[in-house]
Amino acid sequence: MAASKRSKKQARRRSVRQPGSKSEFIRTRPPGMTAKEVVAAAAELGMTMSEHFVYNIRSTAKKKVSSLAPSLSASATRAITGRASSREAEFRRLTLSLGLDRSKQLLAEVETKLAALISGR
């Protein structure tokens, strides 16, 4: 009997949980969005998290940016990432981590594949 209760409870948890991780959800929110707003948005999707968790994830993300480009000063990294949308800032961070040449190669591949899809090939 206890096993059936447990499996029902686990099934309920799985059905409420949205795809993707909580950290990913936080990183995709705009940087100007407060931690309280992020927690509220997550609650609407059935995710539970604390404001402290949001602060920790954002802090870790900032540390990763500076570690990805150690040759750049903090002010240079901020100048590159700027105050763009979170997706644009993430794109710039990825470009820094991958390197400009590799980023250009990947963009060229995406452009080629999109052109093929559009033309129906």
Q: Identify the three-state secondary structure at position 112.
A: helix
Q: Which two tokens mark 17?
A: 């949980």
DSSP states along 23-54: HHHHHTS-TTS-HHHHHHHHHHTT----HHHH
pTM: 0.42
What b/e string do you get for 17-56 counting C-beta neighbours within 10 Å, with b at 16 or more?
eeeeebbebbbebeeeeebeebbeebeeeebebeeebbee
- Angle at the Cα of 62 (from 78 to 89), degrees rounded to 5? 55
Mean pLDDT calculated for residue range 89-98: 79
The predicted pLDDT at position 28 comes to 82
Residues 34-63: tens digit of each pLDDT = 999 999 999 998 889 999 999 888 888 777
The predicted pLDDT at position 19 comes to 47
Q: Domain spans of the chain?
A: 21-119
Structural contact between residues 70 and 89, judged by C-beta atoms closer than 8 angstroms = no
